[in-house]
Every structure is written in C-alpha cells, then in structure tokens.
Structure 1
Amino acid sequence: MSSPDPQVRAPRNPSARPSPDRHPSTTALRAAESVAARGPVVAVTGAASGVGALLTERLAASDDIKQVVAIDERRGECASAQWHILDVRDPAIAERLRGADVVVHLAVDLDLGTDPAARTAYNVRGAQTVLTAAAAAGVHRVVLCTSAMVYGALPDNELPLSEDAELRATAEGTGVGDLLEIERLARRAPRAHPGLNVTVVRPAVLVGDTDTALTRYFESPRLLVVAGSHPAWQFCHVEDLCSALEYAVLEKVDGELAVGCDGWLEQEEVEELSGIRRMELPSAVALGAAARLHRIGLTPSPAGDLAYTMYPWVVSVSRLHDAGWRPRWTNEEVLAELLEEVAGRHTVAGRRLGRKDATAAGAAGATVALLGAAAVVRRARKARRRG
C-alpha cells in the first residue's frame, strides 16, 4: 500500500517582507493571533484508545485544527491534547466541552466480552449525555460514529446501498441495538436542540487492531458459509475512518455518511485471497447452532451476527467522494492486513480458543466442534417433532 501523501502547504513568497512602517513585534503578535484563530477546537471522547486515540493524534498534528480536547476515563498518549478524565455519562462533561466547536463522540463499547445490559446502558446514556451537554456548552457540531450494520444485512439489499437507504437492521446482532438507538438520538437531537448539527459516520467492517464478531470470522479454521446465501464483503481501515471523521470535523461533509473501501469482494474472492476453505451448512442448522451456543454461554456472538456473513450490506460512499475524500486502502489490502492481525488465533463460532484449546483441538477438531453443536440442535428439533 502506498504511503499517505504529505500535506500540501501553501508556497511561501520569499520576496515578502514586513511592512517598514510596522514594528516587528506587532507583526509577530498579529501573525500569532492569526494562527490561533485558525481552525476549530475539537473535543474527542474515547480518546485514550482505539479509533479515538488515532483520531486524537491525527487532529493534534493537523494545521487545520486549533486545539484538541481529549476526554476519557484514563489519560492517553497524545501529549499535545488537553486531557479531561471523566465518564462520558457524567453531566459535568458539559463544562469540559465549553469552548469546543466540534465534538467527535467515540466512547462506544462494542466489546464482545461486555455484559449486554451494561454495554447498552453505557452506550445509549453516553451518547444522550454528550448530545445534551454539547448543546448546553454551545458546541455547534457533534460527529457520531455508528456502523453500516445499521442498514441491516438482507437478501434483497441493493449493491451498493444508498446512504439514504432505510435502516432495516434488528437489535439481534452484537451492539446493533445500541447503534440503532444512537442513530435515533442523532435524528432527534437537532429538533430538541436547534442550532446543533449532528453528523453520523457509518463504517463498513472495521479493521485495524479491532476485535469484533466480523473480524473473528476470519480466525476460524473454516469460513462458515450458509447454503443459499450470497455475502459480499466491504472493509474499512481505521486510517480511512479517521480521515473521514476529519472531513466531518472540518465541515467538508455532513449529514449521514457511509465510509469504506470502494467496491466489495464476493465470498469466492475472499476464500481465494485468504486461502481459507469454506464449511457450508444449511441455514436452519447454522442459525440454530449459533443461537444455541450463545444461549448456553459458549459463544459471545448472538445468532443475529450471522446475517452479516450471509447477506450483503455494502454501502455507497458517494457523499464523501463528492467532497473529495478517497480511501487509501482497497478491500484486498485491508483483508490482507486483517489476516496478518489474526494469524495464530483460533476461533469457533465467535468463541476464541486459548493456546491449549487450540493445540488440543486443531483446525479439524474445531470444525468438528461446530458440526457437533449443529448436530445437537438437529437432534433436539427431531425429538421435539416426535414428541
């Protein structure tokens, strides 16, 4: 992958000199004031880790940003940001946001290991508090980051989906219900708080030091394919997400935006590029096994996550394209990075196996484990029908 282009700076005029009737110290002062006035003050929540940390560093290094205010429950590594340590659900955040022009809210917990009820309470309350606090503090723009998963993965989805397409996801996938509620809050906020602009950014399958049900799909010894399904894979590298968020911060684009690589990969292309063979199961068996394994606590992913590996949810990125944004990564490059990241990990039905489990089971044993779970579901159904 080619390295990012350096920032283009305006050429200097070597013949330019301070006006002779102006004192040098006055010139320097006015120049400093001009620099200080340039660009917005941006607050980033969830700034200590993940996408929040990457965006904080990116904005802090930008000549177009006046100041970065970093908010999290612990201090991150960006030394040039102004740090505030607090929970985003704390109403006191309004005081920390005072003076900011834009807030990027990235304090969203989609960790597979988090208790679902606690996760929802944190995500929804956090977004609600940030929107209310931003309005109270006089912030004029809030940028929220959800996921293209909110469009839903359905067999009749267009390829690609328009950014204005109806949000048809259900709350059955990991965190999808939380993201749908954040979307509803985003749409209500401008009506509740006139003058507050809300931009929503929806990335495709996010890759780059991430751990989700969809990235774990590629940790399996076999790629589970549901018979009769037609998945299509579109990825989004975290670097491209950060550059899209920066576009939103600088008001180069607004509204509801999708972000990801151009185009998509068919399942057969994914298998060829990854070198991982498929394991095909009937729909009823795959969904039944996934539901059963999740219900008894063996896997972190609910059955709803399986839909995103069955049907397309590829999105158009036309609004960002129209604003001049382009992804630096291709789907092929992101998939290669993902495979490199997950090398050595072993996952079955979303459950990551430890080193001992992986050694004992191996790829073949892991496949047998999933097939065995599917067989248990089949036997249970037959027994119910006979009864």
Structure 2
Amino acid sequence: MNKKILVTGAAGYIGTVFLRYVCQESWVGEIIGLDKVKPTKPIKGVTYRQCDITTTQWTEIIVSEKPDILVHLAFIVNPIRDVSLMRTINVLGTRRTFEAAKQGGVSHILVASSATAYGAWPDNPIPLTEEHPIRPHPTFQYGREKGELESYYQQFAEDNDTIGVAVIRPVIVYGPGVDNYLSRFIFAFPIVPLVERGQTPLQLVHEDDVARIMVRIVALQKQGVFNIGAEDYLTLAEICRLADRKTMPLPKFLLNLMMKMMWQFNMPAMETPETILDYIIYPWVVSVEKVKKELNFSFQYSSQEALQAMLAARNKS
C-alpha cells in the first residue's frame, strides 16, 4: 500500500533534496510539503501547503492530512538575533508538530537533529558514536536546542509505542544546493583566521547522501538514532587550501572578541555569534558505522567531495 508522507520545512535546503529523492520511490503515494514559504523550485508530485509553524493552522493541517509518515525538517539553521523566536520555532514548534502527528495518526516520524547536540569539547573521542552522551554547548543556541529536543524525542517514543521515531544527527551538510552561513563563512573575509593552525577535524557530508539515508530510514520504518557524516574529515586549514583561501593564525581570545563585536554591531559578513567558535576549535566527528550496517548504506561522497561540490556550484553562480 502506498504511504502518504508529510514533510515540514519542505521548501528548505534538506527538504528539497529529500523530496527529490523520495518522489522516485514506488511505495510512496501522496506527498504533502508544509512550509512557511513557497518553494523556489517546486518538486513535481508534491502538494505544497503554506503555513507558519507558530500558528494553530500548522497543527490543524497535520492532523487533517493524516499522513502515514511525518518528516520534520522545519528548523531555523542560520543564527538570528531574536533568540525567543528561534526557540519558539525550533523547540516549541517541534513539540507541537509531534503532538499533531500523534493526533493525526502518524505511524512513523523522522526528525532532523544535529551532531552539534554532542557539543564541541576538548575531550570528545574521535569518532562519537550514537551512545555518546548529549552535551551541547551551553551558549550555542542551535546546538543547545537540538540537545534539549533529543530528550523530548526519547520520551515521546517511550510514551507512544505505536509511533516509530527515528532521529538523524548530521554533521555539516555541503553540496551544490547549499547556501547558508556554514557554506559562506570561509568567504566572508579576505583572510580566514585560524586558531591553533586550523588543525581540528571538521566532518562534512554531501546533501545527496543525507537524502538517500533519510529515504532508506522511512522506507524501512527504522527507529532510533543515526549519525550522518562522510567517512573521512578535513581540517579547516585543508578546507581553506581547497577553497583557495588565504589564512592567518589568530589567538582564540582575539578571534572570540572580534566575532563578538562584529555580531553585536550587526556587520553583514558576521552571520553567527562567537558562540560557535568552539565548534571550529574542538572536534565533533561522528561514527557512521551504525548507518552503514543497519541501513546497508554506502556513502557516495567523501568530505572533500562534498566540499568540492559546494565550491563548484559557487563558482558557477
């Protein structure tokens, strides 16, 4: 029997890539795309509904559509200065979405968490498995809220044994379609500042590999937590070299001060507060053995190939 899927954040980056892949699946029936904004490139076969996650209409749409599967991707990724609004959308909006899924009779939920929920700490092992404690950085709002929601997902799954819950924890997602602060930061300034020579490992993953894993999870109705990242990693110094960017060493305290001031003065080139700095300095590389074994999944792209795909698309634009 064909399954009805509802995707929140359907007009977003990951939502668009996922829809492109899942539309090709023979077991998929009706697809509803829910988002606050219209998609710039609508996917054929998707019925789009436009709505704000902060409204009661959002809940009503999910309940009335009665999807078999809900894929929740409606989050604010790019940091914003309205921290209250960001929390309302990311945390409260997610909780309301899950409750609406329950009311609507959803049998399976796939939600995007983030590897940032592990936190970036000097004592992090390389790599981090799914069993590693969630220790999000206390001052980086995105990672902190992802970590907070992890507890909610676990409790929701325990309280609702008729609903399968799968959680993905991707690292930095790159590819030809990416255009966010994480893809722009290495081009923000004429010279990229490097703390400790930029030798901390940074793990990337290609957008297509993320989408293919998501499709595999919903097709198999898998439950539990899955790390997503390429099987290798790069250092920031290597990323800058591959992007042909000039670099210069800078002490952490000075870079922290510079980023803080630029964020406070709303300088256009500074798209994130200084609270992200530890995620550049300390490791948060994840193990992908579980996704390979349980999903029988083979990655098509390395971290370097994900980076090169992003750079090639940027050079064309």
Shorter-chain-normalised TM-score: which range? 0.7 to 0.9
| Equivalent position to 2:195, from 226, 238, 241 | 226
CA spacing shift, 1:159–1:41, aligned 2, 3 Å: same
Q: Is 1:259 aligned to 2:224, yes or no?
A: no
Which of 90, 96, 103 in structure 1 is aligned with 2:64? 96
Of 261, 267, 284, the match for 2:253: 284
Cα pair distance change 1:311/1:343, threshold 3 Å? farther
Q: Name the counterpart of 2:298.
A: 326
Instruction: State the distance in 2 between where 1:116 and 1:74 align.
Output: 21
Give the 4+ runs in structure 1 shifted more than 6 A. none
- Residue 248 (structure 1) aligns with: 217
Residue 267 of structure 1 deviates from its aligned partner by: 3.8
Quote how far apart the aligned CAs of 1:244 are: 1.1
> For structure 1, which segment, 272-281 or 123-132, has the greater mean C-alpha deviation from structure 2 after superposition?
272-281
TM-aligned CA deviation for residue 150 of structure 1: 1.1
Q: Equivalents in 2 of 1:293, 1:344: separation in Å? A: 29
Amino acid at match of 2:297: W
- The residue that corresponds to 2:45 in the other structure is 80
CA distance in 2, matches of 1:249, 1:48: 19
Whole-angstrom distance in 2 between the partners of 1:245 and 1:260? 13
Other-structure match for 1:357: none
Would you say 1:296 and 2:265 are equivalent positions?
A: yes
- Look up the SS of the partner of 1:242 in the other structure: helix
Q: Equivalences for 1:41-60 in 2 at 5 Å?
A: 41-60=4-23
C-alpha separation in 2, matches of 1:168 and 1:149: 9
Distance 1:112 1:180 in 2: 16
Match of 2:168 in 1: 201
* Number of matched pairs: 307
Shift of the 289–55 alpha-carbon distance from structure 1 to 2, 3 Å rule, reads same
In 1, the alpha carbon distance for the partners of 2:179 and 2:73 equals 16
Distance in 2 between residues matched to 1:242 and 1:114, nearest whole Å: 30
Q: What amino acid sits opposite 1:95 in the alignment?
A: V
In structure 1, what is the equivalent of residue 127 of structure 2? 160
Structure 1 SS opposite 2:88? helix
Verify: 1:235 aligned to 2:207, yes or no: no
Structure number with greater CO (CA < 8 Å, separation at least 6) is 2
Aligned-residue offset at 1:339: 2.5
1:137 Cα deviation after fit: 1.4
CA contact (8 A) 1:173 1:301 kept: no
Structure 2: runs of 5+ lacking an equivalent: none
Is the contact made by 1:149 and 1:204 (CA closer than 8 Å) also made in structure 2? yes
Task: State yes or no: 1:131 paired with 2:94.
Answer: no
SS in 2 for 1:243: helix
Following superposition, the deviation at residue 133 of structure 1 comes to 0.9
Cα deviations across residues 67-122 of structure 1 (Å, max 9, x unaligned)? 32222234542231233333334331342341x22100011122345633212211
After TM superposition, give the deviation of residue 252 of structure 1 in Å: 5.8
Deviations 1:252-310 (A, max 9, x none): 64311111211112344334323323211112212222223223333331112111111
CA distance in 2 between partners of 1:193 and 1:286 (Å): 46
Q: Which amino acid aligns with 1:205?
A: I
Length-normalised TM-score, structure 2 = 0.87
Contact 1:199–1:256 under 8 Å retained in 2: yes
Question: Please, what TM-score do these two structures have when normalized by structure 1?
Answer: 0.73
Percent of paired sites with the same residue = 23
Structure 2: distance between partners of 1:159 and 1:287: 25
Residue in 2 aligned with 1:26? none
Q: Which moved more, 1:135-144 or 1:260-269?
A: 260-269
3-state SS, counterpart of residue 227 of structure 1 = helix
Per the alignment, residue 172 of structure 1 pairs with: 139
Is contact 1:147-1:179 (8 Å) kept?
Answer: yes
SS in structure 1 at match of 2:63: helix
- 1:146 is the counterpart of 2:116: no
Q: Does structure 1 residue 336 correspond to structure 2 residue 301?
A: no
Contact 1:152/1:168 (CA < 8 Å) preserved in 2? yes
Which aligned pairs between 1:64-75 and structure 2 lie closer than 5 A?
A: 64-75=27-38
- CA distance in structure 2 between the aligned counterparts of 1:330 and 1:44, rounded to whole angstroms: 27
SS of the residue corresponding to residue 78 of structure 2 reads: coil
2:129 is the alignment partner of 1:184? no
Partner of 1:20: none
Q: Which of these two proteins has the greater Rg computed from alpha carbons?
A: 1
Helix, strand or coil: the match of 1:162?
coil
Residues 93/125 of structure 1: CA separation in 2 closer, same or farther (3 Å cut):
farther
In 2 relative to 1, CA 122–267 (structure 1 residues): closer, same or farther, beyond 3 Å?
A: closer
Counterpart residue type for residue 50 of structure 2: I
What's the offset of the Cα at 1:344? Answer: 9.8
Equivalent in the alignment of 2:25: 62
Instruction: For 2:104, give the aligned amino acid.
Output: A
Cα deviation 1:155-200 (Å, max 9, x = unaligned)? 2211111122111122422522332233232122123434222211
Give the alignment partner of residue 217 of structure 1, picking from 185, 198, 203.
185
- Root mean square deviation, CA, Å: 2.4
